[in-house]
């Protein structure tokens, strides 16, 4: 009989899916990969093993990403396409693990976290989001940074505190190490090998260093949790500005019309926020929920050189926003149009205005969503525009500036904040740029439009991911999200304010979420050192490859 390979792989996919929303059974992630990891030493044919590894990934990503299909009929293609593409990284992980395992000196407790974290980093930046590509002119922020192992532990606050040392990758490393150790113990069991239909002489059925591996992983886990508990003991956060994050529940088909439903919903909530006592120091609108575009002329260009239509739009936007008494600071999510060098560029923007209607700055989204905000290779393959959810060209230009917005409280205290738009809060690189040693902000804001996903588990998963940005940067995050989930997250990753009584009750509801932002003065080593954890993993893989080459050459002599 052939060895069993598909059942263990599919079981891992289902278990890992259960660790994320909608079930959110985070502890399952510590053992979810164990059945799949039996493929590393399976005596089945390589073709069968790798195909099973792919099927296991498909069993995870297909149900995990099903919320994509809700956004638009064309998004069924995105759901299926991304679900078919992401398991390729599982196959790559399996290939690397089997190669490392041939050395017969590296336990799975080490090889699994090294390989898994290295490939999580690649998936988050593939194909053009790697920073080194800036030197060859090919850099563009892109990648899929969802569903890392570490994100399954968003509610295990004692563990996730290590994110301020190594980001979410450090948490993934610990979870993967426990899975690798679990696989070593399972593979030692003769009954399991019998059920897998392995012959008695299967290669390396047990790790020669099982006890040291157990001690090492136990020490790693204890150190991570011990560090986290120590970090959670600190003086109370200082009170920052009072903010009001307004959340509408405008479905995407209505929002696309940019008509009365969108404008009235947010204007009414804005007025409600202004009537509060004490009045908020900052009112935050979600992404692109202001139905009026902001027009601007780039430095060095002249408004008189622009078309009449642009001049009219410029005059209207200036009249709507500038010089009008607003009563408090406002951050608007809207479309920005900037005239530069004979071209009107469109941006997904956040516009800050002061209490007197003074212009305080603009941030333009850097990490654009493929097919949602731009069409990849549109010039070469214009037919790819058919895969967008829009009937018109909605292509945006990526921003280039990390804008620090000022806000002054009623009692005269001054703070700064940085803005992340939409899924930019799933990119650790963007958030940590605001918390580095140069001009660190006091807190972060995330404005998003999750109305595309109409109450699915995407809302909870998005909030869970954002919690890590707070810990990584040691900066509180205020979220204003159309359809939810708006929230205030403190620098320990705790969700301290919601529109409803629970995460589920905070979706698809209109609310004005008002809270005082907790201000943390701690610094973050991750913000200073960057992605040293995945870099170290890739370094170990390169060293392991060189060792294998040397050993083969010596054996051939």
Task: Tell whether 251 and 346 lie within a shared domain.
Answer: yes
* Cα pseudo-dihedral 255, 258, 262, 263, rounded to 10: 160
pLDDT of residue 40: 96
CA-to-CA distance for 315 and 296, rounded, in angstroms? 10
pLDDT of residue 557: 66
- Residue 105 belongs to some domain of the structure: yes
Which residue is associated with the tokens 């069991």? 189
For residue 105, the Cα-to-chain-centroid distance in whole angstroms is 35
pLDDT of residue 129: 80
Calculate mean pLDDT across residues 95-122.
Answer: 94
Minimum mean pLDDT among 86-100, 233-247, 385-399: which range? 385-399
More confident position, 206 or 338: 338
Minimum mean pLDDT among 107-121, 181-195, 322-336, 526-540: which range? 181-195
Question: Hey, is 284 helix, strand or coil?
Answer: strand
| Residue pLDDT, tens place only, 423-432 | 999 999 999 9
pTM of the model: 0.94
Calculate mean pLDDT across residues 252-281.
Answer: 85
Task: Tell whether 455 and 547 lie within a shared domain.
Answer: no
| Residue pair 294/346 in contact by the 8 Å Cβ criterion | no
Number of domains composing the chain? 2
In this predicted structure, the answer to whether residue 1 has a pLDDT above a threshold of 70 is: no
Calculate mean pLDDT across residues 139-148.
Answer: 87
pLDDT of residue 554: 79
Task: Tell whether 202 and 301 lie within a shared domain.
Answer: no
* Residue 330 bridge partners (DSSP): 283, 353
- Residue 284 belongs to some domain of the structure: yes
Q: Domain of 547?
A: 6-234+531-556
- Token representation of residue 425: 């809060």
pLDDT of residue 376: 59
More confident position, 509 or 545: 509
Beta carbons within 8 Å of 47's beta carbon, 6+ residues apart: none
pLDDT above 70 as % of the chain: 93
| Residue pair 375/394 in contact by the 8 Å Cβ criterion | no
Closest by CA to 30, choosing from 164, 144, 185, 161, is 185
| Residue pair 327/282 in contact by the 8 Å Cβ criterion | no
Closest by CA to 270, choosing from 347, 335, 333, 336, is 333
Task: Tell whether 407 and 537 lie within a shared domain.
Answer: no
Task: Tell whether 386 and 301 lie within a shared domain.
Answer: yes
Task: Tell whether 478 and 550 lie within a shared domain.
Answer: no
> Is the CA virtual torsion 302, 307, 308, 309 positive or negative?
negative
In this predicted structure, the answer to whether residue 389 has a pLDDT above a threshold of 80 is: no
CA-to-CA distance for 211 and 243, rounded, in angstroms? 53
* Residue 421 bridge partners (DSSP): 447
* Residue 363 bridge partners (DSSP): 350
| Residue pLDDT, tens place only, 161-213 | 999 999 999 999 999 999 999 999 999 887 788 888 888 755 555 556 889 99
pLDDT of residue 63: 98
User: Model confidence at 383, in pLDDT bands (50, 70, 90)?
Assistant: very low
| Residue pair 182/34 in contact by the 8 Å Cβ criterion | yes
| Residue pair 414/406 in contact by the 8 Å Cβ criterion | yes
Calculate mean pLDDT across residues 238-267.
Answer: 85
In this predicted structure, the answer to whether residue 468 has a pLDDT above a threshold of 90 is: yes
Task: Tell whether 415 and 502 lie within a shared domain.
Answer: yes
pLDDT of residue 103: 82
pLDDT of residue 392: 53
Which residue is associated with the tokens 């994509």? 68
In this predicted structure, the answer to whether residue 108 has a pLDDT above a threshold of 50 is: yes
Task: Tell whether 139 and 253 lie within a shared domain.
Answer: no
Task: Tell whether 227 and 264 lie within a shared domain.
Answer: no
In this predicted structure, the answer to whether residue 257 has a pLDDT above a threshold of 80 is: no
CA-to-CA distance for 88 and 543, rounded, in angstroms? 24
- Token representation of residue 87: 């398991």
Q: Can you give the three-state secondary structure of 79-127, one letter per residue? A: HHHHHHHCHHHHHHHHHHHHHHHCCCCCCHHHHHHHHHHHHHHHHHHCC
| Residue pLDDT, tens place only, 50-72 | 999 999 999 999 999 999 999 88
pLDDT of residue 203: 57
Which residue is associated with the tokens 């030692």? 188
More confident position, 508 or 207: 508
Kind plus residue range of the DSSP H or E element containing 240: strand 238-247
- Indicate the average pLDDT of the chain: 91
More confident position, 204 or 115: 115
User: Model confidence at 409, in pLDDT bands (50, 70, 90)?
Assistant: very high
Helix axis angle, 87-101 to 108-125, nearest 10°: 150
pLDDT of residue 382: 54
- Residue 17 belongs to some domain of the structure: yes
User: Model confidence at 549, in pLDDT bands (50, 70, 90)?
Assistant: confident
Task: Tell whether 122 and 39 lie within a shared domain.
Answer: yes
Calculate mean pLDDT across residues 124-142.
Answer: 81
Beta carbons within 8 Å of 272's beta carbon, 6+ residues apart: 512
Task: Tell whether 546 and 488 lie within a shared domain.
Answer: no
- Residue 526 belongs to some domain of the structure: no
Task: Tell whether 102 and 221 lie within a shared domain.
Answer: yes
- Residue 364 belongs to some domain of the structure: yes
> Is the CA virtual torsion 18, 20, 26, 28 positive or negative?
positive
- Residue 254 belongs to some domain of the structure: yes
- Residue 386 belongs to some domain of the structure: yes
- Residue 499 belongs to some domain of the structure: yes
């Amino acid at each position: 009989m052939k060895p069993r390979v598909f059942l263990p792989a599919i079981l891992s996919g289902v278990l890992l899916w259960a660790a994320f929303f909608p079930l959110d059974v985070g502890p399952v992630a510590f053992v979810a990969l164990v059945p799949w990891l039996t493929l590393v030493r399976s005596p089945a044919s390589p073709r069968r093993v790798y195909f099973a590894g792919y099927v296991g990934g498909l069993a995870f990503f297909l149900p995990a990403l099903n919320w994509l299909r809700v956004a638009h009929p064309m998004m069924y293609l995105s759901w299926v396409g991304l679900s078919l593409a992401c398991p390729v990284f599982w196959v790559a992980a399996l290939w690397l693990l089997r190669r490392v395992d041939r050395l017969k000196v590296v336990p799975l407790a080490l090889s699994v976290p090294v390989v898994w974290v290295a490939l999580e980093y690649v998936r988050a930046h593939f194909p053009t989001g790697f920073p080194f590509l800036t030197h060859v002119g090919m850099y563009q922020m892109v990648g899929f940074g969802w569903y890392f192992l570490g994100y399954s532990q968003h509610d295990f606050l004692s563990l996730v505190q290590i994110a301020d040392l190594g980001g979410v990758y450090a948490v993934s490393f610990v979870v993967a190490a426990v899975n690798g150790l679990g696989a070593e113990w399972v593979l030692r069991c003769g009954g399991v090998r019998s059920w897998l239909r392995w012959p008695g002489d299967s290669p390396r059925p047990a790790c020669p260093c099982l006890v040291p591996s157990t001690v090492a992983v136990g020490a790693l886990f204890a150190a991570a949790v011990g560090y986290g508990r120590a970090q959670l003991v600190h003086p109370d956060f200082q009170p920052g500005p009072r903010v009001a994050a307004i959340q509408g529940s405008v479905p995407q088909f209505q929002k696309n019309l940019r008509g009365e439903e969108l404008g009235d919903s947010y204007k009414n909530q804005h007025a409600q926020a202004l009537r509060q006592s004490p009045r908020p120091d900052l009112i935050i609108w979600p992404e692109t929920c202001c139905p009026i575009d902001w027009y601007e002329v780039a430095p060095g260009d002249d408004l008189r050189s622009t078309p009449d239509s642009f001049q009219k739009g410029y005059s209207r936007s200036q009249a709507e926003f500038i010089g009008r008494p607003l009563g408090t600071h406002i951050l608007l999510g809207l479309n920005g149009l900037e005239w530069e060098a004979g071209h009107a560029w469109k941006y997904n923007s956040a516009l800050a205005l002061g209490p007197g209607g003074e212009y305080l700055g603009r941030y333009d989204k850097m990490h654009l969503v493929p097919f949602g905000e731009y069409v990849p290779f549109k010039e070469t393959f214009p037919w790819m525009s058919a895969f967008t959810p829009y009937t018109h060209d909605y292509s945006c230009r990526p921003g280039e500036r990390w804008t620090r917005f000022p806000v002054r409280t009623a009692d005269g205290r001054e703070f700064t904040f940085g803005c992340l738009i939409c899924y930019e809060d799933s990119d650790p690189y963007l958030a940590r740029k605001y918390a580095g040693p140069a001009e660190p902000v006091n807190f972060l804001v995330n404005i998003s439009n999750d109305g595309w996903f109409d109450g699915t588990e995407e809302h909870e998963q998005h909030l869970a991911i954002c919690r890590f940005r707070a810990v990584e940067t040691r900066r509180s995050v205020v979220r204003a999200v159309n359809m939810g989930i708006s929230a205030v997250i403190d620098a320990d990753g705790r969700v301290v304010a919601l529109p409803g009584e629970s995460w589920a009750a905070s979706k698809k509801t209109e609310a004005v979420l008002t809270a005082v932002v907790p201000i943390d003065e701690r610094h973050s080593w991750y913000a200073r050192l960057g992605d040293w954890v995945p870099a170290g993993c890739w370094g170990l893989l390169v060293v392991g490859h060189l060792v294998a080459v040397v050993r083969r050459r010596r054996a051939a002599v």
